Chain A
Amino acid sequence: MTEAPAPATPAQGGEGLGDKGLSGKSLADHLREIEFDPRMIGMVAALAVIWLGFDGLSGGAFLTPRNLWNLLVQSASISVMACGMVLVIVTRNIDLSVGSMLGFVSMVVGLIQVRLLPELWGFEHPATWIVSLVAAVALGGVIGLLQGALIAWLAIPSFIVTLGGLLVWRGAAWWVTQGQTIAPMDSRFRPLGGGIEGAIGTSASWAIGWAICATIAVGSVVARRRRRRFGFSLRPLWADVAIAALGCGAVVATVMVANAYALPAGIARRLTEARGQVWPEGGLVIGHGLAVPVLLALAVGVAITFLATRLRFGRYVFAIGGNPEAAQLSGVNTRKVVMLVYGLMGALVGISACIATARLNAATNSAGALDELYVIAAAVIGGTSLAGGVGTIAGAMLGALVMQSLQSGMVLIGVDTPLQNIVVGLVLVIAVWLDGLYRKRLG
């Protein structure tokens, strides 16, 4: 059946080559066989419990299109940064500076957009938003590379470098304008933060939704073909179909919810008239559709997942987390990889800075305060191990959603702020404890 020297781990016979008929397999074994992470199911279940719980406690105010739409928009900034934090933590490092960096980048973006660019080409120039976005990503990336260089080449512990960064960049954020808030933002920049101007409308949402579904379907067929060509074991067809159907179902449900959140009547009317149509007597219901920051976060999630699982760089990131010495002895330039991971983290902070600034429609030097903790918590709740080597992007994004759901839910049912913090803190500790238990049980 398996090898002669019996392995000490209880996780026997996952390959499913010759031992299909074995009885006494646990649910987890079955899940492993179809290559589906049971932890992911646990997270979705936890999210469902939180959502249903708050919906019950708030008398049905939680599971409304409006609340869910806002929930997704509010978690976008943390989600984007959590993607980078997963890679940082996987390499056995940490980044405590992301919140402060967000504040600093946000101030610089505000300055560029409201003071520098208008001097150059006036207010409301069509290129202002993209210049701001690129500048934010570049600035964040450079700051990240700088911190990464200190960590990788000077071997200063990342905890210390980024703890320093937490103070330095928060101070620098104040310095940009001596503490003055900068507002308002460019009107083409504001959609990055969501809001009515950041909703893409119902038909565009359907178009994107169906495109994603098509990609999921094609992707699973291609993956299956490839495994068959190499003669590897295939997971059962029903499992492939079920997973693809689940994915598409989630996409369609999200689009439906976003489209069900109606625009305020006044705005719907203006929109209708702007299209040259008449506003009917009884009014019209026009949905928001998906929000730009949510799509941005989704795109980042897909891109980083691709990088982490399909590219050589991602392979190195995980190998370094598993055994830095082994990676180095295998010829991996571990220092360069670690530095680039921090650069990437910084670039993602730049994107989040734009989302946060656009959402607030102002740049303030306190933007992003405590974000580092939420980002790390999201990654850890999402199954990233602080010991390094283990973590998924999707898990971290779900983790961000869990955190945001808790917070929004508590606001909705009127829990005081101090108590909110207590609950979030406890949930973090309990989640990591449960994850540890799970890992010990299943290896």
Chain B
Amino acid sequence: MDITSPLVEMRDISIAFGGIKAVDAVSVDLHPGEVVGLLGHNGAGKSTLIKILSGAYRADSGEIRVNGEPVSIGSPRDAKRHGIETIYQTLALADNVDAAANIFLGRELLTPWRTLDDSTMEAETRKVMGRLNPHFRRFKEPVKALSGGQRQSVAIARAIYFNARVLIMDEPTAALGPAETRQVAELILELKRQGIGIFLISHDLHDVFDLADRVSVMKNGRVVGTARTGDVTQDEVLGMIISGKCPAGAVPGPGALRG
């Protein structure tokens, strides 16, 4: 259907931690302007899979392609160079420094004298946070002093500030209130319109069905199946997650229940 080559393609990705195959021959892909929901029970391997894409882990085997080109992602820096930004489930914030320092961590703005340009970074932070969480005021305090939702906003701000082409969101709204969750949903739709591809990990099936174009379901490190959200019902997807049964509307993966 889609003639453009996928923005990101992960093929036959496997990784094991001390004998446990956390991710086992997983293939997923993502097109520009598409939202793909990654679903699965706790410990299914979703976070591990996306950490391979974001450069936190190196896959034992498999291939990653960006715009059809095979790439080697050996570090978070490599991933960012390819325009892949990540909101981690754990948020990955340095608690002892402020929002601006976190957003620009590793990519600080410098003055002509090579010193930190804190004023510009703070001004930019005010701008990007204004988009996400207009009530946010505590720019000077270490993020440790922020609420869970505010911290999540900072993590999201960091991912969207640098003009990502691929955005990975690992349970981005887990700590957000209803208003902030709506804001993130609107943000996702806006980014989608801009042609950004988004991997969205969430346990909230309603959210995923509202936002995602396709879903891939994982179970015990393997893909049960992939489906367009229009082709399957929420109950069928729930069945995929719980029992690994692949419905007719989905393309079965290696992890699908046989028979």
Asked if A and B are interacting partners, one says yes
Is chain A's binding surface mostly helix, strand, loop or mixed?
A: loop
Residues B56 and A312 in contact, CB atoms below 8 Å apart: no
Is A238's beta carbon under 8 Å from chain B?
no
Q: Is the beta-carbon distance between A15 and B137 smaller than 8 angstroms?
A: yes
- When distances are taken between beta carbons in the complex, the residues of chain B under 8 Å from A331 are 75-77, 80, 105-107
Q: Is the CB of A318 within 8 A of B94?
A: yes
Binary flags per residue of B130-166, CB closer than 8 Å to A gives 1, else 0? 0001011111111001111110000000000000000
Give the distance to chain A from B103, nearest Cβ to Cβ, in Å.
10
CA A15 to CA B141, docked complex, whole Å: 8
The answer for the CA separation of A328 and B105 in the assembled complex, in Å, is 10
Partner of B138, one of A14, A230, A310, A311: A14
If the complex has contacts A6-B147, A14-B141, A15-B140, are A232 and B105 also in contact, measured as CB distance less than 8 A?
no
Closest to A327 in B: B94
Is A437 positioned at the interface, with any CB of B under 8 Å from its CB? no
Q: Smallest CB–CB gap between A50 and chain B, Å?
A: 30
Determine the chain A residues whose CB is within 8 A of the CB of B199 once the complex forms. none
A49–B27 Cα gap in the complex (Å)?
69
How far, in whole Å, are A332 and B54 apart by their CA atoms in the complex? 14
Tell me the interface secondary structure of chain B in the complex: loop
Instruction: Assess whether B42 is interfacial by the CB under 8 Å rule.
Output: no
The interface residues of chain A lying within 8 Å CB-to-CB of B93 are 322-323, 326
Q: Is B195 an interface residue (CB 8 A)?
A: no
What residues of chain A lie closer than 8 Å to B107, measured between beta carbons?
Answer: 330-331
Q: Does A3 sit at the interface, judged by CB under 8 A?
A: yes
Contacts of A232 in B (CB 8 A): 119, 122
Among A3, A322, A323, A329, the residue within 8 A (CB) of B137 is A3
Question: What size tier do the contact residues of chain A reach?
Answer: 35 or more
Contacts of A325 in B (CB 8 A): 90, 92
B22-34 Cβ-contact flags toward A at 8 Å (1 or 0): 0000000000000
Task: Tell me which residues from 203 to 253 in chain A have a Cβ below 8 Å from any Cβ of chain B.
Answer: 226-227, 229-232
Task: Determine if B96 and A389 form an interchain contact, defined as CB atoms under 8 angstroms apart.
Answer: yes
Query: Is the pair A230, B94 in contact by a Cβ cutoff of 8 Å?
Result: no
Q: Does A321 make an interface contact (CB < 8 A)?
A: yes
Bound: A328/B74 CA distance, A: 12
Give Cα A227 to B91, complex, Å.
30
Chain A hits for B135, CB < 8 A: 2-4
Asked if A310 meets B115 with Cβ closer than 8 Å, knowing A315-B108, A319-B105, the reply is yes
**In the complex, are the beta carbons of A330 and B147 less than 8 A apart?**
no
Query: A129 CB to closest chain B CB, in angstroms?
Result: 31
- Closest partner residue, chain A, to B139 (CB atom): A15
Contact B76 A390 (CB under 8 A): no
Q: Are A326 and B92 in contact (CB under 8 A)?
A: yes
B116 contacts chain A at the CB level, 8 A cutoff: yes
Q: Which of A4, A11, A35, A323 contacts B95 (CB 8 A)?
A: A323
Contacts of A229 in B (CB 8 A): 119
**Which 7 A-B pairs rank lowest in CB-CB distance, beginning with the nearest?**
A322-B94, A322-B96, A331-B106, A389-B96, A330-B106, A326-B92, A319-B94
A and B contact pairs by CB, cutoff 8 A, 7 listed:
A5-B148, A7-B145, A35-B140, A232-B119, A326-B92, A330-B106, A331-B75
